[in-house]
Amino acid sequence: MGRTITEKILAAHAGLAEVHPGELIKAKVDIALGNDVTAPLAIDEFEKAGAQKVFDPNKIVLIPDHFTPNKDIKSAQLCLKMRRFAKAQGLRHYYEVGRMGIEHAFLPEQGLVLPGDLIIGADSHTCTYGALGAFATGIGSTDLAAAMITGEVWLKVPESIKFIFWGKLRPWVSGKDLILYTIGKIGVDGALYQAMEFVGEVMDQLDMDSRFTMANMAIEAGAKNGIIAPDNITLAYVKSRAQRNFKLYQSDKEASYKTVYEFDAADIEPQVAFPSLPANTMPISQVPNISIDQVIIGSCTNGRLSDLRVAAQVLQGHKVHPDVRLIIIPATQDIYRQALIAGYIEIFLDAQAVISTPTCGPCLGGHMGVLAEGERAVATTNRNFVGRMGDSRSEVYLTNPAVAAASAIMGRIANPEEI
């Protein structure tokens, strides 16, 4: 019987010839990740366990990105705990403000996560790295502590679901729309503890930024991981970045899937996810007149260079609506620099947007754009749960960067074709 790419990676890291869905395995990790919200809890558990040294100081990555630059005393204390732990343990991969980025954009950019890896992170959107052809999944802080000590993780092998995208993308449609459309079809628990494997001629043409976006939001369908088999586009991305050797895996043609879905890209318009679930989607052509107060372009989902490029294309020559705040957050320092060189930052400033240093802040209602009661935001982030970005009576609408930029100009949720 053939095996899926997920099964092959898990078997290799468990030291087994093969694994099967439902099987419990103990697997070695290539990278264990924590941020300023989750790592301090893991550090506490690490110390409670009486551990003295991490299993490998080269395989643990700590990134302060959620409440940084420190928004208050409590966040400063959390970051201080991370900083001291990283120094005491001699961690190679601790990145301070000014040198860091939003974790799920930063790690691939720096070549820290690679095809064939098994990556765990105390953050639900760790599944982003599946875009490289890796097995990547989110875990709790206690599991992160155990992995920092042992270098291993317990996993149940997930069943796989195949999503085939064929046809040609419509104008202004990106990976964000493909994944929102998919989640809208299967629901927020439609892939519960399963591997979402994305294939097809549309996927073959997607750039890495869109692939990262799709894998990033697999968790919003309840998936254990999202994954895209590596190809020439993947190799072009990783070869100049890789800090170590890597291995490529592909699913066998006769591999078994729990379910197979096929989608025609011609049916997929830019999508808008209405409050308060990512599955509550609607094509842009059917969205009624909804006024907004704020727009966020950024996050681990859509803060990469191509996202900023699209936003700049829409915003060029326009001003943000006087009733709207537009906050743009390049996901890493390098993306910020590239956007500056390309002239995007000047376009954003001319449009009267605010440009922030890399941070997750507004995505989780932490800082840099918290919503008040009754306010509405359009965001290129990944979640729009009740209270996600601020007051429980605020609303968040998820879109791609083009729709977000058009909405900032129009003062309402808008189709970029209107601009």
Residue at 21 is within a domain: yes
Residues 211 and 72 in one domain: yes
Select from 262, 296, 324 the last residue of a domain: 262
Pick the last residue of a domain from 198, 230, 262.
262
In this prediction, residue 14 carries a pLDDT of 98
Segment 152-167 mean pLDDT: 98
- Does residue 157 lie within any of the structural domains? yes
89 strand-pairing partners: none
- Whether 283 and 253 map to the same domain: the answer is no
Task: Encode pLDDT of 350-376 as tens digits.
Answer: 999 999 999 999 999 999 999 999 999
How many domains does the chain divide into? 2
pTM of the model: 0.97
Q: How confident is the model at residue 243 (pLDDT cuts 50, 70, 90)?
A: confident
Both 288 and 181 in a single domain?
Answer: no
pLDDT digits (tens, 9 = 90+) for 382-397: 999 999 999 999 999 9
1 pLDDT band, cuts 50/70/90, is: confident
pLDDT band at residue 164 under the 50/70/90 scheme: very high
Report the CATH number that the domain containing residue 355 is assigned in CATH. 3.30.499.10
**247-262 average pLDDT score:** 97
Same structural domain for residues 279 and 258?
no
> Does residue 267 lie within any of the structural domains?
no
Domain termination residue (choose one: 219, 234, 262): 262
For the stretch 98-148, pLDDT in tens is 999 999 999 999 999 999 999 999 999 999 999 999 999 999 999 999 999
Looking at the fold, whether 300 and 171 belong to one and the same domain comes out as no
Task: Find the domain containing 120 and state its range.
Answer: 5-262
Are 294 and 250 found together in one domain?
no
Task: State residue 53's pLDDT score.
Answer: 98
Are 298 and 184 in the same domain? no
Q: What is the mean pLDDT of the chain?
A: 97
Domain shared by 289 and 152, yes or no? no
Backbone angles phi, psi at 137, to 5 degrees: -150, 155
Q: Are 185 and 322 within one domain?
A: no
3-state secondary structure 243-280: CCCCCCCCCCCCECCCEEEEEEHHHCCCEEECCCCCCC
Whether residue 350 is contained in a domain is answered as yes
Task: Find the mean pLDDT for residues 267-291.
Answer: 97
Q: Are residues 248 and 289 in the same domain?
A: no
Q: What is the mean pLDDT of residues 193-213?
A: 97
Check whether residue 245 and residue 291 sit in a common domain.
no
Residues 301 and 250 in one domain: no
